[in-house]
Structure 1
Amino acid sequence: MTERSTVVNTARAGGPPPDRQPRRLWGLVAGASLISTGLAAYEIAPASVTPLVQESLGVDATAAGLLVGTMFGTAVVASVPIGIGLDRTNTRTAMAVAVLTLFVAGVWGWVAGRSGDFRSVVASRVLGGVAYVAVWNAGIDIVSRAVERDRRATAVGIFTASGPVGFALGQAVGPLIAARFGWPAIFLAFNGLALLGLVLFWPTSRGLGHSAGDAPSLSEFGAVLRDRHVWLVGGLGFLGYALYLFVNSWGGPYLTREMGLSVAVSGLLVSVFPAVGVLSRTSSGILSDRVFSGRRQPVVVGSFVVAAPLVFGFTRLQAIPVLVAVLLASGFAIQLTIGLSFSYVRELVDARVAATAVAFQTSVGLAGAFVAPIVGGAVVDTAGFDAAFLLAGVVAVSGVALGWLAPEPAT
């Protein structure tokens, strides 16, 4: 791609040409990633202390799953409106507002948890869900516009790796925080990381926010939501996130209840499942950009092909080292799709509505994340862990079928 064509393509998105100062670019990616890491840790932390939450609040597994699923459910509803807003306003400012919102949600959840008010804890998680989806959509949008096409999937993959880093942090550190300060403290523990990220992100992102003068028309937004190819890639995100949240939410309780491990040890072991996403999500862009010459479909199909047998067989294994190996392998495979899908979907639409396409992908993908912990809890309550992991395996097989139908974006 020539410098002139890069400038023209970026101008269509209403922003400046891709930044050619590597230090500033990677400072931007690092700052955005730290913000997202703090939010992701806050998001998953209740899953790491599920038995403590159930005992303290007197709720069943389905209700406990709601503490994780609520944030994703909120994101499903809020993502597209927020994405449309990002295409009409400044993504840089949105990131700062989201960090402040996280602080409010964290304090609210801590107070509600200490008083035993389950409904108020859930309400605080709704507010946290708004902060989460604003950071996720704005981060992907601004990172995508800061780099050229041949490095875009790699840069976005690095940003999306903040999700598994945060999940691993929440899974591993959550039980330790709960043991020292009580489980409601998990809602306060990760805010400082998001603030540190904002300090790094703010100066390096100067000049990269959208201008309100470049607002797309309503018909352009509508075209995104009617695009069959956008829906196909959204479906892949739904299945990938459903698998990801199911294992994150119920892998730990399985190890505690069925394998006899402590909550702290189970959380530490399950943390390898999201943690390997640091490698996986970054690798997804490199594999697609370099190995498959920009093709996206081979990566997403391979993701589900590898994941399906690993998820199917999880509860049939008894050796802890083997279970950890399966968590690593399945976590790597599943997160290939998650890491790539956001670059994938924005390349299927006009650059002026790219943030809306990313928001749609977030909404559909997180619908899977919302459903999985709750449905998983219901299946565990009624039929046990074997049935729940069997259902997850069926989801993975469905991903293989959908991946075959997915299109390649035009270059």
Structure 2
Amino acid sequence: MLNLSIGRPPFGGSTWQVVTIATGWLVLLFVGAYLITPASVLTLVMADLAVTEATAAALVSTPQVAATVIGIPVGIYLDRIESRAAVPAAASILLAGSVGDWFAASGGRVSLLIATRLLAGVGMFVLWVVSIDVASSTFPPDRRATATSVIISGYPAGYALGQLGAPRLADIVGWPGVFPLFGGAVLLTSLVFYVVVGRVSRFQTATDPMTRAEFGRVLRNRNVWAVVAVTILGYSLYMVFNSWMPTYITRRFGVSLAESGAFVALFPAVGILARPTGGWLSDTVFTQRRRPVFAASFVGATALAVAMFYSATIAVLVAMLVLAGAFIQLQIGLMYQSIQEFVDPTAAGTAVSLASVAGWLGSFVAPVVAGELVSITGTYAVLFVFAAGLGVVGALTVWQMAESGTPSASA
């Protein structure tokens, strides 16, 4: 996937590099806004489609389901083509899915809405993988983790945009009309991204497609699977708090769900700063070492999970929650750079796809497991025990893994 170089020197040098990251950030901003739209208008979705909360909420994660299913084959395919060329096609697929969403939702066709969201998920995944690759290959090795972390911070920013903007847009165009608005924004920014990417040369310029033997080496690389494990655990920890804390705060302190949701919204929002900070710390403070940031992320989150368990006031709990969001998201972004450093450049797309699928898998499974634990024990306090356990296992995994930033990392 890293055969993006067009054989020309960069125009404007570092200026075009920054513009590349900025436009990629905007692409992921609108992708995130599109994906979260059903969650921000959930009551309208349930009323108009006459579906349960569970069905309405499932519409939020449907694109990620598609990404999980097609992730590895798409990653392999992207390693065999000039992935820059896939950007307009992927954005067009997402736009087609979003227009289909509008058509299906307007007609009350739930099955069709699920299908069109699945289609959009294919475009979403391609844009995600290509954005990460472009970020890491646009900058030299000592700045790649920072660049990757910055560009993917557009995703939580998109969640914030969707949560804030979708209800207001729904008042103007109706909630089904919000989907193609964000889908159109994805296409427009993707076209700009496509043009800008062509104006910078790549620091990694692998031109040969990944062979079957190289793919086998990826699958046999225990360091790759260590990053996969870290990614599953990191996203699991992230989603346990993200999905269950509104309910916990409501039950524990008697506030409304709307109020608790506003408090918990700070948890992902802090990632806009925390994700780039994690990359910068790894590149600059720790001189391209990745493990110290992974370790700090898990250890800090574990300590804060314990602190939240003993929090007696909502103010203290929310403060601890925001700090936990910052610690957990230090490593999100670093995951995708680290896994690329363990493989040959021709397999970078496959590696990023593995990490992406792992992250979405953790996002799906962890909230379900947490819910089962609450059901079995009859107390929401078990959430903090579960979160602390994930943090401890994550820290132990990091302790055992190799350092991807060293020259021998891909051996």
| TM-score bin, normalised by smaller chain | 0.7 to 0.9
Structure 1 residue 24: deviation in Å?
0.9
Q: Please say if residues 242 and 369 of structure 1, whose CA atoms lie closer than 8 Å, have aligned partners that are also in contact.
A: yes
Q: Residues 204, 14 of structure 1: CA spacing in aligned structure 2 closer, same or farther, 3 A cutoff?
A: closer
Secondary structure, aligned partner of 1:337? coil
Match of 1:360 in 2: 354
TM-score normalised by the chain length of structure 1: 0.85
What residue in structure 1 maps to residue 19 of structure 2? 27
Alpha-carbon distance in 2 for matches of 1:380, 1:18: 57
Displacement after TM superposition at 1:286 (Å): 1.1
Matches of 1:356 and 1:227 in 2, distance apart? 13
Greater CA drift, 43-52 or 342-351: 43-52
Correspondence 1:284-299 to 2 at 5 A: 284-299=278-293
Deviation at 1:399, TM superposition (A): 1.4
Residue equivalent to 2:233: 239
> Which residue of structure 1 aligns with residue 264 of structure 2?
270
1:78 aligns with 2:70: yes
Is the alpha carbon distance of 1:63 and 1:336 closer, same or farther for their aligned partners in structure 2, counting shifts above 3 Å? same
SS of residue matched to 2:402: coil
1:147 aligns with 2:139: yes
What CA distance in whole angstroms lies between the structure 1 residues aligned with 2:269 and 2:168? 17
Shift of 1:257: 6.5
Cα distance, 1:241–1:187 mapped onto 2, change above 3 Å: farther
- CA–CA separation in structure 1 for the residues paired with 2:400 and 2:239: 24
Query: RMSD of the TM alignment (CA)?
Result: 3.2
CA distance in 1 between partners of 2:401 and 2:238 (Å): 20
- Count of equivalent residues: 401
Q: CA offset at residue 114 of structure 1? A: 3.8
Counterpart of 2:222 in structure 1: which amino acid? R
Matched, 1:224 2:218: yes
Report the more deviating stretch, 375-384 or 350-359.
Answer: 375-384
Contact 1:346 1:357 in 2 (8 A): yes
Code of the aligned partner of 1:39: V
Q: 2:326 aligns with which of 326, 332, 344?
A: 332
Q: Give 1:177 deviation, angstroms.
A: 4.4
1:155-194 CA-to-partner distances (Å, cap 9, x unmatched) read 1111111122112222333444456655545534523442
Query: What CA distance in whole angstroms lies between the structure 1 residues aligned with 2:311 and 2:181?
Result: 34
The structural deviation recorded for 1:18 is 8.6
Tell me, what secondary structure is at the counterpart of 2:332? helix
Give SS of 2:331's match: helix
After TM superposition, the score normalised by the length of structure 2 is 0.85
1:127 and 2:122 matched: no
Deviation at 1:402, TM superposition (A): 1.4
Query: Mind listing any 5+ residue stretches in structure 2 that lack a counterpart?
Result: none
Contact 1:175-1:267 at 8 Å conserved across structures: no
In structure 2, the CA distance between the partners of 1:92 and 1:268, relative to structure 1 (3 Å rule), is: farther
Give identity over the alignment, percent: 38
Superposed displacement of residue 261, structure 1: 5.1
Structure 1 unaligned spans of 5+: 1-9
Distance (whole Å) between structure 1 residues aligned to residue 190 and residue 397 of structure 2: 37
Which amino acid in the other structure matches residue 270 of structure 1?
Answer: V
Say which SS state the counterpart of residue 214 (structure 1) adopts: coil
Q: Identify which range, 72-81 or 40-49, moves more after superposition.
A: 40-49
Pair 1:394-2:389 in alignment: yes
* Cα pair 2:46 2:52 within 8 Å, conserved: yes
